Chains A and B, each alone.
Chain A
């Protein structure tokens, strides 16, 4: 691998992503765990920048770090003994098998061309801009149906959440 800005960036963001992930599973402190999760998510945002998808990078930070991770910290605050978790998940063999299986499936999915193959490197002119992304989301030959379905699903989930959380007294 050639040593240039992109490869250095890749290494840095990989350290962020994997290091954050390791931090999440090893720390005994739930709050620190969420912070590590944010570090990991930040690393993923860095990958999007390297893949010339700045829009996705900004959305990753805005949605995952700015909203979801904040929500997780709120949830963490409501749990007991945030800082000293004593219970451990001890069934190591099943979790080892499960994680290895997942890793293998992902590895096969990326390397073996089942899902449309692997494109070696994108030429600069084929890199989609934010405008293309927006157009694809509302184009009938693009992703308009999945986009609308996801929107309906999210709206339904939101109404459901409001309905469940509603106080019955009034």
Chain B
């Protein structure tokens, strides 16, 4: 009881409340906070996303409702709530209505294992990283269900495309996650962050970070992998039949998922709340995490608004012929190097509490390995690109003749 009952609960017990009730209330507050913070964040995120997109496209973005357009999302929210809630007559009613909820819940559930500071977290699961992957697979399920339950062939086709994309990119994502897990020797989020006290994992295993970044961009369905909606060309994908707030929930889930991935990358690769003076106050630690997550989030927005969309066969080929082999090779090399270094006593066996000096030899060796792998990969990609260009330059001759007729 003493270990569970801390903070607010302790305070309530001291002022004479029933111990069981106090524990229940403090747990309830915790649950409400962990689920409420992401729900409120998403409202702000939509505004940020629209502003950033506008700036990149040389526009101003929302600027009419409220100061610098801050209230725009609330206006949109009211509009979505006020819209007619249409359920197609031929739809599978139950599944059609459940899908948006599952989609949103799959993202919010991730926040249960996100440690905000060394002391403030929903729950520190022994299998934190695996929990995140398992929960994210519900998102795939939601899209499949939405596409099918709409009883619309375009929705179903859209769902097929998305699900094949999501299922494929889950493979390199999980392999990339293995790198921080192996380095930290634990799947708990808290342990992984603490293990980065000597050196951030992005330095120890930059390739794993790149793979994770690319596949999480694909998992959220952002450009260059935005086949999910392809907003600029198609009507919509799996969510074509959805209207009002149900449609809004799919979108809120997507916006939140992007930010969640930013925070996860900050935790797994950028030392989470580690930074100057983080031990002084939980607030500073939280600020560090927010700043790191926010910067990564902004880079994903930048990428989204800059690069063009890939074809589905290109996306699949890139995943199965490049990312998956690369992630497997990365795991084999990193684990091998780490074990050899530990046997030679050049790397600490326990990373938690290790200092920068302890980590230096391991860092240099791992960086060299990662660099060599990157150069090899770039060589292959270059060769493939040259071949593809040669083919493309050979083909247009026929194409031009055909259009001239």
> Which residues of A are at the interface with B, using a C-beta cutoff of 8 A?
29, 31-32, 35, 38, 54-55, 58-59, 61-62, 65-67, 69-70, 73-74, 77, 129-130
Contacts and interface: CB of A to CB of B under 8 A. Distances in A.
Contact of A58 (B131, B156, B160): B131
A-B interface, 4 closest residue pairs, ranked by CB to CB distance from nearest: A66-B137, A61-B134, A58-B130, A62-B134
7 contacts: A58-B131, A58-B134, A61-B138, A66-B137, A66-B140, A73-B148, A77-B148
Nearest to B185: A131
B137 A61 contact: yes
Contacts of B298: none
Contact of A55 (B130, B167, B170): B130
Contacts of A66: 134, 137-138, 140-141, 170
A55 B127 contact: yes
B134 A38 contact: no
B366 interface: no
Contacts of B125: 54
Contacts of B127: 54-55, 58, 130
Contacts, number: 59
Contacts of B134: 58-59, 61-62, 66
A54 B132 CA distance: 13
Interface string B166-187: 0100100000000000000001
Give the interface centre of A61, A66, A67 by most chain B CB atoms within 10 Å.
A66
A62 B126 CA distance: 16
Contacts of B49: none
A141 B133 CA distance: 31
B234 to A, nearest CB: 20
A66 B174 CA distance: 13
Contacts of A29: 92
Nearest to B186: A131
B175 to A, nearest CB: 14
A32 B131 contact: no
B326 interface: no
B163 interface: yes
Nearest to A73: B144
Contacts of A62: 130, 133-134, 137
B126 A55 contact: yes
Contacts of A32: 92, 95
Contacts of A70: 140-141, 144, 163, 167
A28 to B, nearest CB: 12
Nearest to A69: B141
Contacts of A74: 160, 163
A48 to B, nearest CB: 11
Given A58-B127, A62-B130, 15 more contacts: A31-B92, A31-B148, A35-B145, A54-B125, A54-B131, A58-B130, A58-B133, A59-B130, A59-B134, A61-B134, A66-B140, A74-B160, A74-B163, A77-B156, A130-B187
A77 B126 CA distance: 37
A100 to B, nearest CB: 33
A108 to B, nearest CB: 34
Contacts of B156: 77
B180 to A, nearest CB: 16
Contacts of A77: 148, 156, 160
A38 B141 contact: yes
A31 B96 CA distance: 12
B130 A35 contact: no
Contacts of A130: 126-127, 187
B148 A67 contact: no
